[in-house]
């Protein structure tokens, strides 16, 4: 192939690179120049993560031919900070909380810089226009817009963030400890790793949704250019199947075995380049015997349906019953019955799955973004027949997960390839791979029946839910159990019968996705509540208030709520905010209709079930040399106290590093910026379990807090002896150890640490925290140790000529127990609202014979910046006794009520009731709009 040399100036430095005709600018930056701050989110120019500035203009480098950059000046994220000072945009993104997972951040900042360079005083519409092709799945865009306005001088910067020297760090709006690395491009994501002599892997997937594999011929592929190995099932030395709950998912489907969906893996090609590995896939011949495919849960349930697994097609039936449901329906004054349909949807995290495996002496180290690194370690070790300690999983920065990185993606394939070849191997999913192959949100069909008295008291709820759990178990049984247990909503209902069925089909597996099954049943429940309110002539919020759970209420599972039930306050706060909202219900344009809708939700915190819900954390106080600027060169004068928190919990963007740093700073009095948080490295952190079920603030937060308290007590013993006071009179704050009574000078933290070291007292402690016990849904007792509650109101505007819906405003009040970092909680609220908006209006996997058709961001519609509504986040704090400082969790519930609030608002605006998601715009196309 003709190669050519191009010359370009990158961040002010002349560079010369040899390229091929089809080489993209992104590859030059990342692969040739090592500037991995620029990210590849889709490779098709749809997400904007690869945005750089070329000759003053923002361009998407993944679709910009490198030869077009010959002679150009290129600016990347690495070039923005000057002399150690962040660019104003970078500073504003950090301080404003505009960074979560950080994968979109470099592209966002570069697009914003191009805008401000050309237009220093942009309007909000200018910002939307400039960034509308830059997707963010985490933040809801609100804080990104605010950060740009701060950088443009149009909005005040937030008050200086507390420096952690004040005594109360918990409850303060703190910037994330990892935000600076993310705004400068220094944060390393899995695909950013490079090792000498590295190979690349690509995977051959099934051509059928259901078929027996009669033969796999890899001989031709094995001799293709650059190919080093072609691996099939016979190369898997250990357990042939993986699975996050049941081991039913083949690592590679063997000859004689059965493929159960279009993502089943048949062979792994390992080659010198990714292009060579991809090209060789074409040369693998597979002979199939097609089998009848089951493509919906209804088909799976038929008595004559073929069995997809030895136990049949039913993965799990969950049944919850309380009271006498049939009798209650007979006595009800009003009964409402309706069928609902919800689609399969995708997490659409901006960072596609990636794994880099490096062989080690007798083992392997795998760098991969995951929600359960320790379970990855166990699954890799089992399939490779390696001792557990020979497999190390290191969790780099992760570009979002939302439940979609709990299952194995490429970790075992990369590890196997590395061990077989003896060389490092990188395996990165394309956007199409990601949208096609990893587990999805369950598509459901929900039969819902509600009975109530004339005065609006719920007396009975009966729900049956069929869930398409796809080809393999994943977390489907647990997800569908939550769909059932939460189906009656956060309401006191004396008679309930809730059934859910997780059914195997030949569609992509279904598993966890933010909300874990509750968004589906919440949509149905809250639509029922809206219909009931209308039938009874009641205000929708008043109906919810009359039925709201409170302390002493009994849930359908029989669990009695004994504390921390903040739902009523969230209803009150939303009602107040709606009253304060501008009255603009009648747009000037007569083809547009506006309406408000409301919805409530609750969501468990923690895993639930009979197994202990535990997480470990290790907290160390140590002395380190200060920064060179501060160093006087004299021994002893340059040391400063530093805290290191090591925990096994995975951070996928949700904000755990800030929470743990705040807890350590609070308990030990060490400045916040001197707390280093190391997460999820099986080689150096204790196990933290899964980052799922909104549990990590609660469990890992408690573990870190208790470990920090032990360290403090150890230091207090040393300091008390030195000062001649009782240890319980000492206060750790502001980098000092004070004597509180009588208040007098004490020691610096550094002196206290040095004292403890000299006396051999512990300065490092590890705690494994176990949450209060829970039971499964069939057993009387607490199914969960805590719940979060929320109420949201949405205002929409519908163009009844085109059917277009614009969500104008969402008020979101959520009881989080205690907001350890309100800045982070707001970010979760705003991001969750936008995800719920997508579920209502745009998101749906289009499947044809088991194949995902909309496998690009051009066709799978994630909400963009110009679709974001105004969001009013309201934090309600009804503390949980066992939570750290009362905190519960916030990750999932923020997106659950949004969908129904929007569809109920559409009804208020148009009179069109949505029972199938996403909203069909054609249905809103009213030839004769209502007055």
Part in contact with ligand FES (CB under 6 A); list of ranges 73-81, 100-108, 576-584, 679-687: 100-108
Part in contact with ligand FES (CB under 6 A); list of ranges 82-90, 98-106, 167-175, 562-570: 98-106
Query: Quick one: DSSP state of residue 694?
Result: T
Part in contact with ligand FES (CB under 6 A); list of ranges 134-142, 211-219, 307-315, 840-848: 134-142
Residue 134 binds ligand FES (CB under 6 A): no
Residue 691 binds ligand FES (CB under 6 A): no
Which positions from 642 through 661 interact with ligand FES, judged by CB under 6 A?
A: 653
- Residues acting as catalytic residues: 892
What's the rounded Cα separation, in Å, for the pair 142 and 140? Answer: 6
3-state SS, 499-522, equals EEEEEECCCCCECCCCCCCHHHHH
Part in contact with ligand FES (CB under 6 A); list of ranges 115-123, 133-141, 158-166, 566-574: 133-141
Provide the minimum distance between the beta carbon of 399 and ligand FES in the complex, in angstroms, as a whole number.
Answer: 6
For ligand FES, the closer of residues 397 and 739 by Cβ is 397
Q: How far is CA 30 from the centre of its chain?
A: 25
Q: Assign residue 266 a region: left if phi > 0, alpha if psi is -120 to 50, beta otherwise?
A: alpha
Which positions from 718 through 747 interact with ligand FES, judged by CB under 6 A?
A: none
Among 137, 205, 405, 482, binds ligand FES (CB under 6 A): 137
What binding mask, one character per residue, do residues 233-272 give for ligand FES by CB under 6 A, x or -? ----------------------------------------
Among 26, 52, 101, 484, binds ligand FES (CB under 6 A): 101
Provide the minimum distance between the beta carbon of 349 and ligand FES in the complex, in angstroms, as a whole number.
Answer: 7
Positions of E strands within 543-679: 592-605, 614-625, 639-647, 675-679
Contact 255, 267 (CB under 8 A): no
What's the rounded Cα separation, in Å, for the pair 719 and 726? Answer: 9
Provide the minimum distance between the beta carbon of 108 and ligand FES in the complex, in angstroms, as a whole number.
Answer: 7
Q: What phi and psi, each to the nearest 5 degrees, are found at residue 420?
A: -70, -45
Closest CA relative to residue 660, chosen from 611, 625, 612, 706: 706
Residue 187 binds ligand FES (CB under 6 A): no
Let me know how long the chain is: 931
What's the rounded Cα separation, in Å, for the pair 580 and 241? Answer: 56
Residue 688 binds ligand FES (CB under 6 A): no
Residue 102 binds ligand FES (CB under 6 A): yes
3-state SS, 899-914, equals HHHHHHHHHHHHCCCC
What binding mask, one character per residue, do residues 325-364 give for ligand FES by CB under 6 A, x or -? -------------------------x--------------
Residue 147 binds ligand FES (CB under 6 A): no
Six token digits for residue 510: 């279904």
What's the rounded Cα separation, in Å, for the pair 96 and 114? Answer: 20
Gyration radius (Cα) of the chain, Å? 28
Positive or negative, the Cα torsion across 821, 824, 826, 828?
negative
Among 26, 138, 348, 690, binds ligand FES (CB under 6 A): 138
Residue 42 binds ligand FES (CB under 6 A): no
For ligand FES, the closer of residues 250 and 653 by Cβ is 653
Helix (H) or strand (E) holding 875: strand 870-876
For ligand FES, the closer of residues 336 and 834 by Cβ is 834
Q: What phi and psi, each to the nearest 5 degrees, are found at residue 458?
A: -65, 135
Provide the minimum distance between the beta carbon of 40 and ligand FES in the complex, in angstroms, as a whole number.
Answer: 13
Part in contact with ligand FES (CB under 6 A); list of ranges 117-125, 131-139, 699-707, 763-771: 131-139
Q: Report strand pairing: 639-647 vs 786-799.
A: unpaired
What's the rounded Cα separation, in Å, for the pair 842 and 918? Answer: 6
Part in contact with ligand FES (CB under 6 A); list of ranges 96-104, 614-622, 852-860, 874-882: 96-104
Six token digits for residue 922: 């054609």
Among 40, 61, 100, 232, binds ligand FES (CB under 6 A): 100
Among 26, 66, 104, 730, binds ligand FES (CB under 6 A): 104
Provide the minimum distance between the beta carbon of 102 and ligand FES in the complex, in angstroms, as a whole number.
Answer: 6
Which residues in 134-166 are b (16+ Cβ under 10 Å) and which e? bbbbbbbbbbbbbbbbbbbeeeeeeeeebebbe
For ligand FES, the closer of residues 139 and 172 by Cβ is 139
For ligand FES, the closer of residues 43 and 470 by Cβ is 43
For ligand FES, the closer of residues 105 and 702 by Cβ is 105
Site residues (CB under 6 A) for ligand FES?
Answer: 99-105, 136-139, 350, 400, 653
């Amino acid at each position: 192939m003709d190669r050519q040399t191009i010359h370009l100036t990158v961040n002010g430095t002349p560079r010369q690179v040899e390229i091929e005709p089809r080489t993209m600018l992104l590859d030059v930056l990342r692969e040739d120049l090592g500037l991995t701050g620029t990210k590849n989110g889709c490779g098709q120019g749809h997400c904007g993560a690869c945005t750089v500035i070329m000759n003053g203009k923002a361009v998407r480098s993944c679709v910009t031919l490198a030869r077009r950059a010959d002679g150009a000046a290129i600016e990347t994220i690495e070039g923005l900070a000057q002399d150690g000072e962040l660019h104003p945009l970078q500073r504003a993104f950090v301080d404003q909380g505009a960074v979560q997972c950080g994968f979109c951040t470099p592209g966002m900042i570069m697009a914003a810089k191009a805008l401000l360079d050309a237009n220093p005083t942009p309007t909000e519409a200018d910002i939307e226009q400039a960034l509308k092709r830059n997707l963010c799945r985490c933040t809801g865009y609100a804080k990104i817009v605010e950060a740009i306005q701060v950088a443009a001088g149009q909005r005040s910067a937030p008050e200086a963030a507390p420096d952690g020297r004040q005594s109360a760090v918990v409850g303060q709006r703190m910037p994330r400890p990892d935000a600076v690395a993310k705004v400068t491009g220094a944060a390393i994501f899995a695909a950013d790793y490079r090792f000498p002599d590295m190979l690349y892997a690509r995977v051959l997937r099934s051509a059928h949704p259901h078929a027996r594999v009669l033969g796999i011929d890899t001989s031709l592929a094995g001799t293709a250019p650059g190919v080093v190995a072609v691996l099939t099932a016979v190369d898997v030395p250990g357990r042939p199947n993986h699975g996050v709950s049941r081991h039913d998912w083949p690592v590679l489907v063997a000859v004689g075995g059965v493929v159960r969906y279009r993502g089943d893996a048949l062979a792994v090609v390992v080659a010198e380049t990714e292009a060579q590995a991809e090209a060789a896939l074409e040369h693998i011949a597979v002979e199939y015997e097609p089998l009848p495919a089951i493509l919906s849960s209804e088909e799976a349930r038929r008595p004559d349906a073929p069995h997809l697994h030895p136990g049949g097609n039913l993965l799990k039936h969950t049944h919850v019953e309380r009271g006498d449901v049939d009798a209650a329906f007979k006595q009800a004054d009003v009964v409402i019955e309706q069928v609902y349909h919800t689609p399969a949807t995708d997490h659409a995290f901006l960072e596609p799955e990636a794994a880099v495996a490096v062989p080690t002496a007798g083992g392997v180290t795998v760098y991969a973004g995951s929600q359960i690194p320790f379970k990855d370690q166990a699954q890799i070790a089992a399939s490779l027949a390696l001792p557990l300690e020979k497999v190390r999983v290191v969790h780099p920065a992760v570009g979002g997960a939302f439940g979609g990185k709990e299952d194995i993606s490429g970790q075992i394939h990369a590890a196997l390839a590395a061990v077989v070849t003896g060389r490092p191997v990188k395996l990165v999913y394309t956007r199409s791979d990601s949208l096609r192959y990893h587990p999805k949100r369950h598509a459901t069909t929900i039969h819902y029946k509600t009975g109530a008295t004339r005065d609006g008291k719920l007396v009975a709820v009966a729900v049956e839910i069929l869930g398409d759990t796809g080809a393999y178990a994943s977390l489907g049984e647990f997800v569908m159990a939550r769909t059932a247990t939460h189906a009656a909503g956060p309401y006191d209902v004396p008679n309930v019968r809730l059934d859910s069925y997780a059914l195997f089909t030949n569609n992509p597996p279904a598993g966890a996705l933010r909300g874990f099954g509750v968004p589906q049943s919440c949509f149905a429940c809250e639509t029922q509540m809206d219909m009931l309110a209308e039938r009874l002539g009641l205000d929708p919020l008043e109906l919810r208030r009359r039925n709201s759970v409170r302390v002493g209420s009994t849930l359908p599972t029989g669990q009695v709520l004994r504390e921390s039930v903040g739902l009523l306050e969230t209803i009150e706060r939303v009602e107040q905010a709606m009253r304060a909202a501008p009255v603009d219900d009648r747009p000037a344009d007569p083809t547009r209709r506006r309406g408000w809708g409301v919805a409530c939700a609750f969501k468990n915190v923690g895993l639930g079930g009979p197994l202990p819900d535990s997480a470990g954390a290790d907290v160390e106080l140590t002395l380190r040399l200060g920064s060179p600027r501060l160093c006087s060169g004299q021994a002893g004068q340059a040391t400063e106290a530093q805290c290191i928190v090591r925990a096994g919990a995975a951070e996928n963007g949700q904000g755990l590093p800030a929470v743990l740093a705040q807890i350590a700073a609070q308990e030990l009095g060490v400045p916040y910026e001197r707390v280093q948080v190391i997460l999820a490295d099986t080689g150096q952190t204790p196990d933290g379990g899964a980052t799922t079920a909104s549990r990590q603030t609660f469990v890992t937060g408690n573990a870190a807090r208790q470990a920090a308290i032990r360290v403090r007590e150890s230091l207090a013993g040393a300091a008390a002896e030195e000062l001649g006071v009782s240890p319980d009179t000492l206060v750790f704050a502001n980098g000092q150890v004070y004597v509180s009574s009588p208040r007098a000078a004490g020691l610096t933290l550094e002196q206290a640490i040095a004292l403890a070291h000299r006396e051999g007292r512990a300065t490092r402690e590890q705690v494994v925290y176990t949450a209060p016990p829970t039971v499964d849904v069939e057993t009387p007792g607490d199914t969960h140790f805590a719940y979060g509650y929320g109420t949201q109101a949405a205002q929409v505007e519908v163009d009844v000529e085109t059917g277009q819906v614009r969500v104008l405003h969402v008020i979101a009040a959520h009881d989080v127990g205690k907001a350890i970092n309100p800045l982070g909680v707001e970010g979760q609220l705003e991001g969750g609202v936008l995800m719920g908006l997508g579920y209502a209006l745009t998101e749906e996997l289009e499947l044809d014979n088991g194949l995902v058709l909309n496998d690009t961001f051009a066709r799978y519609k994630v909400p963009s910046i110009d679709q974001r509504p105004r969001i009013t986040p309201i934090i309600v704090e009804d503390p949980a006794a066992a939570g750290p400082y009362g905190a519960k969790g916030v990750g999932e519930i923020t997106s659950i009520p949004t969908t129904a609030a929007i569809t109920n608002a559409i009804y208020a605006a148009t009179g069109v009731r949505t029972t199938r998601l996403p909203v069909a715009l054609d249905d809103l196309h009213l030839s004769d709009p209502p007055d």
